[in-house]
Structure 1
C-alpha cells in the first residue's frame, strides 16, 4: 500500500514512499493515483481536499530511485504550495529472513511562499511470514529552517491478505518528535511538539488497479492554537479513500 519516499532539490543520503513507511511496493514503474486527500503520518497536506499523484520508479541492481508529484492545492501547511515533488534514492539487502532498507529523501514544494523544501533519511527492517508482511523503521530529518528544527519519526506497520478473499488488511502506528528552533515552523510536521499517529485500512488489488480505504487518526489536539503553517483540525480522525492504477 503505502510507499512514499522523497528528496528535495538536492538528493540527501540515507522509507511512505516517503521517506514514508512502506508496506509493499508495486513492481510496475509508473503509478497514477487519486485520493480524497493527501495524508502523511496522520496529517492532511491538502486541508482534507482531493489530490492527484503520479510516480515514476527506476532501479539498477540494488539501487533504486523514484520521483513522485502530488497536487497540494495551495496547502497552508506548506506555505501555499500548489504541489510537492518527492525524489528519493535507496537500496535494500537481505540479512537472513529480514530485509533492510535505507533511503535518502527530500521534498520540493512548487508555488510555496518562502523556502519550504527539506530533506530526510531513514532505515527500516521488514519481515515476511506467510501472508503477513511487517516493517519497523525510523526516519530522521536533520535540523532545518524550513521545518523549524529536527524531526524523528519512528513507525511500525504491517499488512496481511485475508484468506479466501481478494482483500488485504493494513495497520500502522507511528510517533514523531524532535528538537525545536522555530516553534511556528515546527508545527508543519509536528503539531504540538510531538504526536502519535495510527492507521487501519482495507485494500483490494486486481491486476493494475488498487482500491483502498483507511481510517486515520492522531492524538493531536484539534482545539489548541495552530501556527500559520498548520491547521490542527487537519490532524483529526477521518476516512481516506484512494484509487491507484499502475503501468
Structure 2
C-alpha cells in the first residue's frame, strides 16, 4: 500500500508499507487473527519498525445481522513501551450487493496512549453489478480522556476528531487492488500525515 493509514492517521509516516495477515479458524465463528505491517521507524509509534496486531474475532449471524466481537493487542517492534490493547464490537447488515456496518472500538486507559480511546464508525459498501468493482466509504469519530497529552497525540492529534474515506476496490480471484481518498478534520499544527490523501493498494489472498 502507498500509506498505512488507520482512522485517518498515517502509521507509516506517509510512506509505502507492506502488510501480511493470517486468520486461523478455531471454532464456530471464532478465529485467531494476526497482521504484521512495516512502519520503517514510525515517529507516531516511538520509532517502531513494524506493527503487530493480534487477537481473537467472534462472528455470528443473527437474522439479517452479522454481529461480531474482537480483541486486539498492538505491538511495536523496534520501540519500547508502545504496545496497547483494545476491544471492539461490530454489527453489519447485507442487502443484495450492498452492506452497512457499524462499529465501536475501545482502548481502556493505558499509559502508552496517554489515557483511553473510543472510536465509533459507520460504513457502507456496494458491489457494482456485472463488474469486479466495489465502492465503499466510512466515517468515524475518535474521542477519549487525556491524561498525558504527548502520548495521547498518537491516536488523537489535537484531541477528538472526525475521519472519513471513500474508495473503489477491484477483486478478481485471489487478486485485489484499490484506490481510496481519506481525510480528517484535524487542524494544523497537528495535521501531519492526517490530511487529505489518495491511497493505493495491491493485494493477494490464499
TM range (shorter): over 0.9
The aligned residue for residue 107 of structure 1 is 74
The aligned residue for residue 153 of structure 1 is 119
The aligned residue for residue 58 of structure 1 is 24
Q: Would you say how many aligned residue pairs link Structure 1 and Structure 2?
A: 205
The aligned residue for residue 94 of structure 1 is 61
Secondary structure of 1:181 counterpart: coil
Task: With the length of structure 2 as denominator, give the TM-score of the two structures.
Answer: 0.97
Q: Does 1:45 align with 2:28?
A: no
Secondary structure of 2:118 counterpart: strand
Tell me by how many angstroms 1:95 deviates. Answer: 1.9
Tell me by how many angstroms 1:164 deviates. Answer: 2.5
The aligned residue for residue 140 of structure 1 is 106
Task: With the length of structure 1 as denominator, give the TM-score of the two structures.
Answer: 0.81
Which of 153, 176, 187 pairs up with 1:187?
153
The aligned residue for residue 20 of structure 1 is none
RMSD: 0.8
The aligned residue for residue 184 of structure 2 is 218
Secondary structure of 1:233 counterpart: coil
Query: CA offsets, 1:51-84, max 9 Å, x none?
Result: 0111111112221111100000000000000001
Partners of 1:95 and 1:163 lie apart in 2 by: 27
More strand by proportion, 1 or 2? 2
Query: CA offsets, 1:117-140, max 9 Å, x none?
Result: 000001011000010011001000
The aligned residue for residue 201 of structure 1 is 167
**4+ runs deviating over 3 angstroms:** none
Q: Does 1:235 align with 2:194?
A: yes
Partners of 2:47 and 2:154 lie apart in 1 by: 12
Q: Which runs of no fewer than 5 residues in structure 2 stay unpaired? A: none
Tell me by how many angstroms 1:92 deviates. Answer: 1.1
Q: Which has the higher contact order (CA 8 A, sep 6+)?
A: 1
The aligned residue for residue 164 of structure 1 is 130
Q: Which runs of no fewer than 5 residues in structure 1 stay unpaired? A: 1-34, 227-231
Partners of 2:205 and 2:103 lie apart in 1 by: 26
